[in-house]
Amino acid sequence: MRTHRSPFALTRLVVAGACLGVAMAAVATPAVAAPAVATPSFSKDITRAAPAVPPFKTRVLVENLEHPWSIAWLPNGEMLVTERGGALRRISRDFKLDPRPIEGLPTNIAVGGQGGLFDVIVHPDFGRNGLVFIAYAEGELSGRMASSGTAVARARLDGQRLTDISVLFRMQPKSRGGRHFGGRLAFDQGGSLYLTLGDRGEEDRAQKPNDHAGAVIRIPHHGEGRPDVFSRGHRNIQGAAIHPQTGELWTHEHGPQGGDEINVVRGGRNHGWPTITYGVNYVTGTKIGEGARKAGLEQPVHVWVPSIAPSGMAFYRGAAFPSWQNSLLVGALRAQSLSRLTLEGDRVVSEERLLVGEVGRIRDVRVGPDGLVYLLTDESAGRLIRLEPR
């Protein structure tokens, strides 16, 4: 398969009005030599029955979280949890939820629809610098002239307060509406930070070279330097994780009606939305774009038809579930399940659907420092749930 470099890979683009000197810059790094997957696997073809007795039991650790979105661990074993309504909460090592939200969040978090406070991630060297990073919808979601877009801020966690807060990236241009913000964060092994963005419900924006919508943004090491567009052509990425062996960024995104995808995201690549997709239009079921393939546009690793509405994902590298080594765990909102995908290199060779209808809409999936699996459920009384060996 030929290696394709999209036009934006060599062109620096600046959006008028970009804040704090943050410009839209395209990646200038050559595309990774490894070819994209030629033929994706399809969930309907490789899904196998879950074991009658799964190797885990579920334990509810925390209840009454308001639409929780993301989990992060501090070095002392405490946890941070975001709530979409705009609160950052602390959970003790014995899983007591602090009733006081952490203060100092940005004051212009746009809450409504799918918008609000999204991911939280702790700097790899948090023990030395105390830095955390948050993704959120910035702006307004109500009023005749309202507009919003996804932003990333860096701050120092000092007890129950964020200090020294600075905005590293602001999506441009902002837009009206409350859909498709993306909002996942991931650090690669070199310390660069990745932010996933959605198309904001305006699908053609994902192919516009002077628009952040539908892109993955790379923020350089320590947040010092100009963010750039790492990849383009995404619909709404709700899961992101770094492969523990290859160091590459894997993401999954919501398709339209059908066609949810897992992608290996490489610099300078175009993932095709809405020119190509395995999904169809809602209601009418009509074709979108030019079909499922086009020369020069990337193919996904895996496709779910029908859609599961994936959210949150993690590679499993713990010792608690030995049979889950080389697995990718993916939560699902619509399907209300946890998918365990078995990997061979960049190929998905099998899928198990776990917890189907048992715990509700799964928003986030993480593997804790203890090797156990932690889930967040997306509801007004959301829960933190742990999977433990039987």
The catalytic residue positions are 180
Residue with tokens 């990997």: 343
Provide the CA 135 distance to its chain's centre, in angstroms. Answer: 10
Q: For residues 314 and 330, give the distance between their C-alpha atoms in angstroms, rounded to a whole number.
A: 7
Strand 228-232 with 25-26, pairing? parallel
* Distance, CA of 170 to CA of 150 (rounded, Å): 6
**Rounded-to-integer distance, Cα 109 and Cα 2, Å:** 43
Token code pair at residue 84: 């979409």
- Residue 36 · residue 298 · CB < 8 Å: yes
Tokens of 172: 């441009």
Tokens for 138, please give them: 């910035």
Q: Give residue 356's identity as a one-letter amino acid code.
A: V
In whole angstroms, what is the distance from residue 312 CA to residue 330 CA?
6
Amino acid at position 45, single letter: D
**Could you give the 3-state DSSP secondary structure of residue 372?**
coil
Answer for the pair 260, 303: CB distance below 8 angstroms, yes or no. yes
**CA separation for the pair 269, 264 (Å, rounded):** 10
CB atoms within 10 A of CB 120: 23
Instruction: Using the Cα atoms of residue 288, residue 291, residue 293 and residue 297 in order, give the sign of their dihedral.
Output: negative
Taking only Cα atoms into account, the Rg of the chain, rounded to an integer number of angstroms, comes to 20
Q: Are 111 and 136 in contact (CB under 8 A)?
A: no
